[in-house]
Chain A
Amino acid sequence: MATILTVDDSPSMRQMIRMTLEPAGHSVIEAGDGAQGLAKAQASRPDMVITDLNMPVMNGLDLIRALRKQPTLTGLPIVFLTTESSDGAKQEAKSAGATGWITKPFVPAQLLAVVGKLVRS
């Protein structure tokens, strides 16, 4: 179905996302930080990006801003992971250009719902 790039410095989180999305028929690409994520997004043009915000090398906000500047990736849905229940992080990421967010912890159904919401076959 769709190709989804997950950018997170936590391997377990990436694995969790992979374990949720692959059985649903999506293929998952992983990147360990923002810079890698940007490179992989450029290289493999995913249908959607799921990124953590707090990462080394290039954080999620910078990644979102950088992705939004890519002419070839216009309109790419970008979802960020957040544990903040406050709106500060959400606002910041939204104004950086994020499409949506997923609040950690989430259950697989929530993740699938968000993916289904933003990625159409």
Chain B
Amino acid sequence: MSFADATAVFRQEASELLEVLEGTLLDLGLRPHDKDLVDTAFRALHTIKGSGAMFGFDKVAAFTHEFETAFDRVRKGEIVPTQELIAVALAAKDYIRALIETPDETDTIIGDAILGDLTQFVAPRAATAEPTATATVAAPMQANRPAGWKLYLEFEQHVLRNGSNPLDLLEDLCKLGPCFAVPLTDAIPLLDEIEPEDCYLKWDVTLHCDCDRSAIDDVFMFVCDEMKLRMTPLTQTDVAPQVVSLGQDMVVQNALIQDVDVQDEPAVTVVVEAPAIVPEQGPVAPSPVAATPAELATPAAAKVRREEPKRSDERAVATVRVQAERLDELMDRVGELVIAQARLSQLAATSADLSIKMIAEEIERLAGSLRDTTMGARMVPIGSLFGRFRRLVHDLSRDLGKPVEFVTSGEDTELDKTMIECLADPLVHLIRNAIDHGIEDTAARTAAGKTESGRIELQAVHSGAQVLVTVRDNGGGLNTARIRAKAEEQGLIAPGATLSDSDIHQFLFHPGFSTAQTISALSGRGVGMDVVKRTIENMRGSIDLSTRPGQGTTVTLRLPLTLAIIEGLLIRVGEGRYIIPLSAVEECVELTPEDQRSRGRSFLNVRGSLVPFLRLRELLHVNAAADPHQKTIIISTGECRVGLVADQIIGSHQTVIKSLSKLHSDVTIFSGATILGDGTAALILDVAQLVALAQAKAEKQMNEAA
């Protein structure tokens, strides 16, 4: 691992942290008093500062330090994060990103301006210049270096428990020069009162060296507030007699260990007298702040962090980069393995050999978990993408002066990583459109009796082999007449031609088509919707528009789960076998004779609520005789429930989704096909389509009844 690699790791990490920071700041705008959010933001800043300084991003560290200082006042509860403060904080966050990503192109003037803004919100500080962290303790050089030091060491009893070892410290002293350490044993209690983990010894040390005070301070730097340390310089006259009286430099370590072990009394008396000569003029360390047992025993401030901060932490998990093709390849292999395994299971089921059955079961289990792992490696929760839009909405709403409430749901919905990246731009367009064109200005909204602030919902839902991403606004809806006029003006349709509203709306996807009366910086330049449509179609997805005048517009993107393997429910209708994505299945109930009789009305009574149902035999034109006991599978898209009537429920099935050929692209009720263990194919039912179909049918029946 080279330093360059480590720097890359820092960049990656900082980028994740900045994402967390952004999310947290935006959350903070909604819940200014949430202490956990403040802590999360602070922690992100803190880490960026610390790591930044480590990896030589000095500007980042310096700027973040100032940012952190300002934010510290928020943390202490001295100031409340207002929208203005958050806007500045977001700008500061952007600046940090720029400093990290393009340090050479980033002008520090911007940073200074942001800092200026930041300090507006916090009281001016007398001096922001703190001693830099790197500055070592600069001890004043003494003109006359002493010949040595006379030290008195008395440690607190608990010093050993905190991991410091006085013996090590004495060894360190020895490294400075010849040194005599004499233990003072008077504090040692009787044997039965001795706590084995406590330190009772004190030492008198004579150190012969020309080092200055700071060198000795360095030795005791970690324990200086847990000990009494008295230092007095030895003068030349002090040294001479001592050296003479002691005759020679003893090997200190030996002497020390001897002393400690044997408690050699005479040695003590000899040297103990020596310090008395020296007047004690050294500074006495302030009385150490002892940690009381109560403090030590205080349980961790038990604040369980959950919910929001945790979620943002999860959003930015550490990543490993793998080439996408490798994952594709892996997924292909797993798909083949799952099909082969299904064949093995089929074979084992008909075999009488128990050991084959056991192996088949084992392989089924392994293949299942391998599939999940492989899928997991490719899939990314769409939340990471949604997170970015909160900022977009925040900024747009401020720039356009339209207060907008932005609601996201289904962040956990997972999509192929590459697909998520491709989705970013189309969604930006759609959200911009929603705010710029969709949401009316405040005056118009109030006039229409709507809430002052608009609402934009971004939602992701799994729907069988597809993921639906919807952008919904509660604005004015599409102006069909204006779109039509524009289309006529551009010669796309003949004046007076008969077209349905939805056909007219399709012109929005026409290249160069814009109805915006004024071209703003955001939208209305006629590039956008056609690009969006093309991008989505390139992903084999589709885009739908639905609008209600005065109530808003919904854009739905239907995206396939490429290469997906899903857990499916295998059912039989007549001779044919079909797969329903298990994730959409709510429950299976028997179709009661009473329900059977209700030929005309297709409603099922499920514990008191009416659920429309579809007879798959009718839908699929199966002519064979129906089983006497038909089953109903209740499926749901999250919003509405629908029952599907089948002949038999076979069981769950690991389904490798194969897409249907172009020839079958008109068949809407199937989203794909799969290969079963015996080599035959089964079609995968499209839950969203079936639910829509049943709903439409139910609505029609209701209307007829009414």
Query: A residues engaging B (CB < 8 A)?
Result: 9-13, 15-16, 18-19, 52, 54-58, 61-62, 65-66, 68, 74-78, 81, 83, 85, 91, 94-101, 103-106, 117-118, 120
Contacts and interface: CB of A to CB of B under 8 A. Distances in A.
B295 interface: yes
A36 to B, nearest CB: 13
Summarize A's interface: helix, strand, loop or mixed.
Answer: mixed
Given A65-B300, A117-B172, A118-B168, A104 B53 contact: yes
Contact of A105 (B9, B54, B197, B295): B54
Contacts, number: 131
B53 A95 contact: no
Interface residues of B, number: 50
Nearest to B61: A105
B163 A85 contact: no
19 contacts: A9-B47, A10-B13, A10-B50, A10-B51, A12-B55, A13-B54, A19-B3, A52-B50, A54-B46, A56-B43, A56-B305, A65-B299, A75-B197, A77-B163, A100-B163, A101-B222, A105-B61, A118-B164, A118-B222
A12 B12 CA distance: 9
B221 interface: yes
Contacts of A81: 50
B211 to A, nearest CB: 16
A109 B9 CA distance: 22
Given A12-B10, A56-B305, A65 B296 contact: yes
A11 B160 CA distance: 31
B318 A11 contact: yes
A94 B160 CA distance: 13
A66 B163 contact: no
A16 B296 CA distance: 31
A15 B221 CA distance: 26
Interface in B35-77: 40, 42-43, 46-47, 49-51, 53-55, 61
Given A94-B225, A100-B221, A74 B161 contact: yes
A11 B50 CA distance: 12
A75 B160 contact: yes
Nearest to A113: B218
Given A83-B49, A100-B163, A105-B50, 8 more contacts: A10-B47, A52-B50, A68-B296, A91-B225, A104-B133, A105-B54, A105-B61, A117-B172
Nearest to B158: A97
Summarize B's interface: helix, strand, loop or mixed.
Answer: helix
A58 B300 contact: yes
Contacts of B131: 85
B411 interface: no
B164, B171, B197 — most chain A CB neighbours (10 Å): B164
A106 to B, nearest CB: 8
Contacts of A99: 162-164, 222
Nearest to A107: B134
A76 B162 CA distance: 7
Contact of B50 (A57, A83, A98): A83
Contacts of B278: none
A118 B46 CA distance: 26
A54 B43 contact: yes
A54 B40 CA distance: 10
Contacts of B120: none
B353 to A, nearest CB: 43
Contacts of B117: none
A93 to B, nearest CB: 10
Contact of A62 (B222, B289, B301): B301
